[in-house]
Amino acid sequence: MIITTVDTIEDKKVVEVFGLVMGTTVRARHLGRDFMAGLRNIVGGEITEYSRLLAESREQSLSRMTERAVELGANAVVGLRFSTSVITGGAAEILAYGTAVKVE
């Protein structure tokens, strides 16, 4: 599966467009992570607990989007984007979306 943020793939021709594909996950903060983040907030530096949580969330939403593209018969996704939104004070949605296509 080829996944790219641009709308074209060098040396490939789009032969079929399947349309929009999305993958999403909603993640909540964890009490233990919040405690460690609070300590880091006092002393400064990267809040690695949240960095890991966001990285895992991006990977999961990307994986779900890719699964949907494969179900449609695509072998590539072009125009990949990520979006985030706050659901509640302690939870956020990570959305991966793009256009599923078949390339040769």
Domain containing 74 — which CATH number?
3.30.110.70
2-3 and 76-88 strand pairing:
parallel
What tokens appear for 54 in the block? 């966001």
In a domain, 39, yes or no: no
Range of the domain at 79: 2-28+59-103
Q: What is the pLDDT of residues 36-77, one digit of tens each?
A: 556 656 666 777 777 888 899 999 999 999 999 999 999 999
**This prediction's pTM:** 0.83
Question: Count of domains in the chain?
Answer: 1
CA angle 25, 102, 11 (to 5 degrees): 115
